Structure 1
């Protein structure tokens, strides 16, 4: 065991001890964060406009600060992007994280000198918590790959602008700089396919022990690597590889294929980083869910998903949530986001400590007929059927078919790219449908009532989803295929890739 691994263990123990102090008192930690945020931003334009100086309680806050999405907050963000200080948070942002918006084009999410360290701390503590729980620290002595966006930054009004992963790349702790791969030059390659090919070439003979990235893009990297090595399994290329860190999507739909490519099961850590803040991470290899970071400069609010589109939906603080219910997540942050609806839905699986699972996107659902099917339900139904029928799934998405051929009932249309097709596609589809009916009573009622027919599956050609993402300009990086859509845009594009 190397010196870094040896030193990491007492550091991990000390870090976990510090985490335990707020972990046991998360509600109190949130109340303290709330007070600090309001006090810090009282003199900003947003704080003056919303009378922060008169806010003493969360109820005061709810009366004076409405829930907003990016479009609603954009007038303030535009001033900030143009270089005006003291708009949403004191001073100017340290960075602007550039993301793709569905309605507003490019979105600019502020990162401040107060918020950016929380991103770094969240990623670091996820690894340290793993070390403390498992005793496994050898990975810190080897190489680590972070599949991320380009670290090249642009300037807007004196503020550095880039993708979140590219910004964070500039703040990797010094003690890990010699461990990280790929090289800076390779990381700067914009074209994703060229970048992945170059990373495979550059890392083939390295002692890789940890990889971090979104599962489908890690799969692409592993396949390129395996091809270069004469179709070897990843475990035979990287004999010390044992830890996969991921976020952004549910790993389970990808697990079987990824582990088949690796040739063994490896430990994994799920993290929940967003441009708006590092929200949660998996703090246990044995307990379900991600630890919600209650002391990370963010005050969380939760709106029951069934109320989200109401005129006056309930807004709950952490102490008011219940386990097993879906909530839309709302953030108030030390980057200057206020009443900000991030678009994700979460469910608490524990309140001691507060652990969540990400269940989908508030706008990514199917409710063309009132069924309101969500991502968590379709993923669980697909994984159950795949396990029973021995199928391998590379990628998938679902859309409603509201205008079927004459005389036919409408249905949910599934587009699945298989690494291994089920022997009987019809029975496979019925198995998914049956599970989905058990998980969603509204969907079941529509099937039983002959409003909908059971789902229809189309098998997408190998590489079809990657081709679709490429033509959309969203191949690689932090981009993800939406699991669900309430329209036909993705479904129409995928017609060209059906087998």
Structure 2
């Protein structure tokens, strides 16, 4: 065992013990953090406008600071981006994390000197927890790859600006940097496909032990490796034993990804966002992600079904219940105040607090009042794939087909790119429809009442989603195709692209 692997063992024990201190007093930890956040920001422009100096309790925060998304907070963010100091947090941000927004265009999320450890330490501690739980640390002696956005940063009114993954790349601990791939020169290539070919060039023949990234882009990397060599990943990288991922639900990609590898490997799920690093998988095999309650973020949770109500309750961790869907609201030392990040979670444990990510508050399908969420369609697909082992799915999305013609009733359309299609597509579609009915009573009611007819399964050719994402300028990095939508923007884009490429 090398020096890094050996030294990581006592560090892992230390980190786990440190986490235990706040895990024994989670509610108190969160209340004390809120007091610290509001006291620190009381003198800022936002703090004065919202009287943060008088906030002592979560109820005070809820009374004085309304829940806002990026668009609603944009006037404050604009002042920060323009270089003004002491707007949302004392001083000026250290970075602006550039991310794509569905309604706001490009978003610029502040990262402050106080909040950058949240992003860096969260990822580090996830690895240390894995080492503590399993005793396996040899991966630190091999080569590690993080498939991420470019680390090249631009100046935006005097503030360094770039993708979160690129910003984080600058804070990889020095003791890991020698192990890290790809090279900086390769990582700053803007075109994803060109960059991927260079990554393949640099990693072939290396002792790769850890691979990290969003599953669909890791799958694309694996496909290029296999196409180049004609071998499965287990033979290309025999020392590869740890896969770290986040950003999307892994389950729809699991079967194809592990088939590409050719053998099981350990995995760690992370819950990162530009607004903060929220949680990580602290126990191998346990799908719940440990919510980080002492990392500069005060959490509020709104029952998802009530999120758009003007008097929706804002709950703290002391109030949440198991197996209920909540929208996540953050107040943090990045200068985010009652900020809706758009993600929804479900608690699977309260001691300690663990969550699973269930989808996006805006990415649901309720064109007919069914309010289907991402978790439900992903679980339905997983169930049916287990019943039809010949099937492999590369990517999918679900959209409404709203009809004005009584002769052709409305329905859901599932647009699916199969790596291996079902032998009987009609039976597969019927099984999907029934699996979703079991998970969503509203959808079942609409089906029983013949308001909706059985779903339409539309297979797409190989590479359809990659071509669509490329056409949108969103191929690679941290970009993801939404699972659900209340309109047909993504669906029509995929269908139009398919028709254009089939000519």
Structure 2 length-normalised TM: 0.98
2:127 equivalent in structure 1 = 127
Aligned counterpart, 2:222: 222
How far apart, in 1, do the equivalents of 2:494 and 2:58 lie?
Answer: 46
Structure 2 matches for 1:346-365, cutoff 5 A?
346-365=345-364
2:72 counterpart residue number: 72
Map Cα deviations across residues 391-411 of structure 1 (whole Å, 9 max, x no partner): 101000000000276611110
SS in 2 for 1:171: coil
1:434 deviates by: 0.7
User: Residues 6-25 of structure 1: matches in 2 within 5 Å?
Assistant: 6-25=6-25
Distance in 1 separating the partners of 2:462 and 2:228: 19
Q: Which residue of 1 aligns with 2:293?
A: 294
Q: Give the alignment's Cα RMSD to 1 decimal.
A: 1.0
CA contact (8 A) 2:31 2:57 kept: no
Distance 1:295 1:462 in 2: 44
Task: Please say if 1:481 is aligned against 2:481.
Answer: yes
Shift of 1:20: 1.3
Note the 1:320-339 alignment, pairs <5 A.
Answer: 320-339=319-338
Whether the 8 Å CA contact 2:35–2:55 is kept in 1: the answer is no
Secondary structure of the corresponding residue to residue 358 of structure 1:
strand
Q: How many pairs does the alignment contain?
A: 498
- 1:280-309 CA-to-partner distances (Å, cap 9, x unmatched) read 000001323100000010000000011111
Q: Which runs of 5+ in 2 are unaligned?
A: none
Q: Which residue of structure 2 lines up, in the alignment, with residue 392 of structure 1? A: 392
SS of alignment partner, residue 176 of structure 1: helix
Deviations 1:26-61 (A, max 9, x none): 211111111110111000000000011221221111
1:456 matches 2:453: no
CA contact (8 A) 2:327 2:345 kept: yes
Alignment of 1:245-256 (within 5 A): 245-256=244-255
Please give the residue correspondences for 1:77-476 in structure 2 after superposition, counting only pairs within 5 Å: 77-229=77-229, 231-390=230-389, 391-403=391-403, 407-476=407-476
For the 8 Å contact 1:201–1:225, the answer to whether it is kept is: no
- Distance in structure 1 (CA, Å) of the matches to 2:313 and 2:59: 11
Q: CA deviation at 1:378?
A: 0.2
- Asked whether the 8 Å contact 1:210–1:245 carries over to 2, the reply is yes
Q: Please report the TM-score for the alignment, with normalisation by the length of structure 1.
A: 0.99
Distance (whole Å) between structure 2 residues aligned to residue 370 and residue 265 of structure 1: 41
Structure 1 gaps of 5+ residues are none
Alpha-carbon separation, structure 2, partners of 1:288 and 1:157: 42
Contact 1:149-1:478 at 8 Å conserved across structures: yes
- The 1-side partners of 2:421 and 2:73 are apart by 46
- TM-fit CA distance, 1:24: 2.4
Q: What whole-Å deviation, never above 9, does each CA across 1:404-449 have from its counterpart, x for those lacking one?
A: 7661111000000111111111111111111111110000000011
Alignment partners' CA distance in 1, 2:30 and 2:57: 12
Aligned partners of 1:327, 1:224: CA distance in 2, in Å? 39
Match of 2:170, SS?
A: helix
> Residues 273 and 220 from structure 1, CA distance in 2 versus in 1: closer, same or farther, beyond 3 angstroms?
same
Partner of 1:320, secondary structure, is coil
Q: Which whole-Å CA distance do the structure 1 matches of 2:382 and 2:53 have between them?
A: 51
In structure 2, the residue matched to 1:53 is 53
Deviation at 1:454, TM superposition (A): 0.9
Distance in 1 between residues matched to 2:53 and 2:485, nearest whole Å: 42
Q: Distance in 1 between matches of 2:295 and 2:404?
A: 49
Contact kept in structure 2, 1:414 and 1:457, CA below 8 Å: yes
CA contact (8 A) 1:304 1:328 kept: yes
